[in-house]
Amino acid sequence: MADIKNSLYNIRLFDELSLKKTPIHNLHPLIKLLTTIFYLVMIVSMGKHEISRLIPFIFYPMLIFVLAELPAYQIIKRLLFIEPLIIGVGILNPLLEQQLIAIGGFEISKGWITFLSIFIKYNLTVTACILLISTTSMLQLSAALRILRVPRVFVLQLLLTYRYISVLIEELFRMYRAYSLRAPQQKGIHKNAWGSFAGHLLLRTIERAQRVYQAMNLRGFSGEYHAKSIKKLNSSDYLYFAGWSLFFVIAKIINIPILIGSLFTGVIK
Amino acid sequence: MFQHKLEVRNLHFSYPHSHEIIKDLSFTVSPGESIGIIGANGAGKSTLLMLIMGVLFSDSGEIMVGDICVTKKTLPLIREKLGMVFQDPDDQLFMPTVYEDAAFGPRNYKLSEKEVENRVLNALEAVGALHLKDKAPFKLSGGEKRIAAIASVLSMQPDILIMDEPTSALDPKSRRKIIKLLNSFTHTKLITSHDLDMIMESCERTIIIDKGQIAADGKTSEILTNSVLLDSCGLELPLSLQNCTVCGSAKV
Ligand SMILES: Nc1ncnc2c1ncn2[C@@H]1O[C@H](COP(=O)(O)OP(=O)(O)OP(=O)(O)O)[C@@H](O)[C@H]1O
Ligand SMILES: [Mg+2]
C-alpha cells in the first residue's frame, strides 16, 4: 500500500515543485525546454568513449538544483529507481568490447569506459528532464510546446495523460485498500483475484475519466485548452539560453578538465 | 442575470439496455427560485440533472433554458447559463491549483486574462476560499474541496446553479458553511440531496421524485412535514422534525 501511495506522491511531488517561485521557475518555459533539449543533444552526441568532456556538464544540473531550491535528496532518490535500468543497458559493453587500454598504469577493457560513459550520459539526461518538470508545470510546458507548433491534439493528449495517471493510481489505491482490509493476512493481491482486479480497475478508471471529462465539458471545454497566455520572453530569458548554449558548446569543443589539468601541470613544470 | 426560467416537459429517458429511469417528468423553475429535488436512492435524481446539463439526452420530451431548447447544437449556450457542481468534487478539480481550476471555465470562453483573474478572485472570495488559491486540490479537506468546486463553477457566472448532493460526506461545521453559502447566493438553484434538513433551510420549493416520476411538487414546508407522503416515497421526515429519540416526545 505504501508503494502505491508513494507513487502518487511521486507524481505530485513534481507538480508541487513546479509551482515554486524561484528565478529558475520564473524563466519562460520555452527557454527551459529549449535549453534542456540543447543539453540533451550535446550529451547524446558525445563520443562513445568520452568521459572527461562530460564532466563539465554536471555543472548544469547542480546549478539548477541550487537556484531552483529543489530537494536534492528526494530527486536523487527517484533517480536511483532507474539506475538498474541504466546499468542493464550498459552492462554488456565490457563483455562486447574487450580490447585493453592502459589508464594510469592499469589495463582495463575498453568496454568499461563505454559503460561508464553511458552511465554518466543517462544520469545527466534523466536528471535534466526531471529538473525540467520540477521547474516547469505541465501547463506551462504544454504552452511552450504550442509555441513550437506541436499540434494541439498531441499537447492535449500529453496534458490529459498526465492527469489520467494520477486518476488511475488513486483508483488503484482505493481498490487495494478495500481488498487488503478484507484480506488482512495476505501480502499483495492473490493471483486468483488479479483478473477481476485489473478488469475492475479499468472500468472504474474509464468511468472516472468520463466524469472528469464531463465536468470539463460542462465548463465549456471544447477540445482546446486556453492556458494562461504565458509571459513574454524578456532579456533575462535570452541571456539564460545564450549563456548555457555557449557553455555547452565550449564544453563540447574544448576538453575543459584536460585543459585545467594541463594548466596545473604547466604551472608545476 | 437570472432572467432565465427552466422548463422540463414530458421528459422520458432510459439508459441503454435498461428500463425507463425517467418517466414523463414535467416542471418549471422560475428565475431566482431554489428547488430541492429529493427521492430515494436510484430514484433518478442524478440522471435528471445530467439530462438538464446536456450530458445525457432524453428519449422524448424537452428541456428549455429561457427560450433555448437543450440539444447537442445549443450546448455551448446552455452551459454558459448553467453551472453544475458534481457530487464528487474530485471529478471536478483536475488542475494543479485551485486558482487554475477556477480559471478553467472562464478561459474556455476566451475571456481576457484580466477578466479571468477578476472572475476567479471574485468566485473564490464569494465562497471564502481566497486563502486556498495556490493550493493543490488533492491537498484540501473534503469541505474545502467542495468549496473549491463551487468556486470553479461560480467563476463562470452561471444563472442557474445545479448541485448534486452538496452536503454529502461533510462534517457538521463544513455542512453549515455550505448551507450558509448556498443561502447567500441569489442564483436560481436546483439542489438534490438526502439531507432533508438542508433542503428545509435552503429551498422554498421541493420536488419529490419516486421511480422516475414526480410524486409531489410544492412548498417545502408542506412537503417535508407530510410523513405519509414521504414514507410512500421511501423517505423519512427531516431529522429536526422527527420525534425525540430519547424521550419520544412529538415535534409535529
Ligand atoms: N450509467 C448507467 N447505466 C445504466 N443504468 C444507470 C446508469 N447510471 C444510473 N443508472 C440507473 O439509473 C437509476 C437512477 O440512478 P440515479 O443515479 O439517477 O439515482 P439517484 O436518484 O441519483 O440516486 P442516489 O440518491 O443514490 O444518488 C438507478 O436505478 C441506476 O441503477
Ligand atoms: Mg445521485
- For the stretch B167-181, pLDDT in tens is 887 888 888 988 998
Per-residue pLDDT, B10? 93
pLDDT at A242: 94
Kindly state the DSSP code that residue B194 receives in the 8-state scheme: S
Mean pLDDT value of segment A125-144: 89
A70 or A167, which is more confident?
A: A70
B118 close contact with A: CB closer than 8 A: no
Pocket test for ligand 1, best of B21, B91, B199, B209 (most atoms within 8 A of CB): B21
Residues A75 and A115 in one domain: yes
> Kindly report the CA angle at B31 between B163 and B224, in degrees rounded to 5?
55
Of A18, A19, A228, the CB nearest to B134: A19
Whole-number Å distance between alpha carbons of B136 and A15: 9
C-alpha to C-alpha distance for B153 and B164, rounded to whole angstroms: 13
**pLDDT above 90 coverage of chain A, percent:** 21
Structural domains counted in chain A = 2
Please answer yes or no on whether A19 and B96 come within 8 Å at the CB atom.
Answer: yes
Q: Is residue A142 part of a domain?
A: no
Please report which helix (H) or strand (E) contains residue A153, including its range.
Answer: helix A152-182
Q: Which residue ranges form the domains of chain B, and what is each CATH number?
A: 6-94+157-241 (3.40.50.300)
Give mean pLDDT, residues B82-98. Answer: 85
Provide the shortest C-alpha distance from residue A164 to chain B (in Å).
Answer: 9
- Cβ distance A214 to B105 less than 8 Å, yes or no, reads no
Judge whether A144 lies within some domain: no
Q: How far is B53 from chain A (nearest CA, A)?
A: 7
pLDDT: is B240 or A145 the higher one?
A145
Check whether residue A116 and residue A241 sit in a common domain: yes
Give B203-244 pLDDT, tens digit per residue: 999 999 999 999 999 999 999 999 898 998 888 888 888 877
Residue A141 falls inside a structural domain? no
- Higher confidence at residue B121 or residue A49? B121
For residues B220 and B201, what is the distance between their CA atoms, to the nearest angstrom? Answer: 9
Residue B250 pLDDT grade (very low, low, confident, very high; cuts 50, 70, 90) = low
pLDDT for residue B126 = 87
* Cβ <8 Å between A220 and B136: no
Residues of A in contact with B136 (CB under 8 A): 12, 15-16, 19
pLDDT tens string B145-171: 999 999 999 999 899 999 999 888 788
Residue among B169, B235, B147, B153 nearest B196 (CA)? B235
Q: Which ligand places an atom closest to the C-alpha of B194? A: 1
> Cβ contacts (< 8 Å) between A138 and chain B: which residues?
96
Mark the residues whose beta carbon lies below 5 A from ion ligand 2.
B 46
* Domain hosting residue A224, numbered range: 1-12+150-230
Residue A66 amino acid letter: V
What is the pLDDT of chain B when averaged over all its residues? 88
Amino acid at B81: K
Cβ-count burial of A96 within 10 angstroms (0-12 exposed, 13-18 middle, 19+ buried)? Answer: exposed
Are A1 and A79 in the same domain? no
What does the pLDDT read at residue A248?
A: 93
Q: Which among B88, B96, B156 is the nearest to A219, CB-wise?
A: B156
Q: State the cell numbers at B251.
A: 415535534
- On whether both A164 and A75 belong to a single domain, the answer is no
| A163 shares a domain with A79 | no
pLDDT for A59 equals 92
pLDDT of residue B143: 86
Q: Is B105 on the interface with A (CB under 8 A)?
A: yes
**pLDDT (mean) for A162-173:** 77
Q: Does ipTM exceed 0.85?
A: no
Confidence (pLDDT) at A4? 59
Whether A218 and B55 lie within 8 Å, measured CB to CB: yes
For the whole model, what pTM was predicted? Answer: 0.75
Q: Which of A138, A214, A220 sits opposite B55 (nearest CB)?
A: A214
Which of the 8 DSSP states describes residue A52? G
The set of residues, in sequence order, having a beta carbon less than 8 Å from that of B110 and lying 6+ positions away, is: A226
Cell 446552455, residue located: B78
Q: How far apart are CA B48 and CA A48, in angstroms?
A: 65
CA-nearest residue of chain A to B116?
A228
Residues A8 and A45 in one domain: no
SS3 B62: strand
SS3 B109: coil
In the predicted structure, residue A11 carries a pLDDT above the cut 80: no
Give how far A173 is from chain B: nearest CA, Å: 14
How many Cα atoms within 13 Å fall on the side-chain side of residue A50?
20
- Report whether pLDDT(A2) > 60: no
Average the pLDDT over A161-167 and give the result. Answer: 75
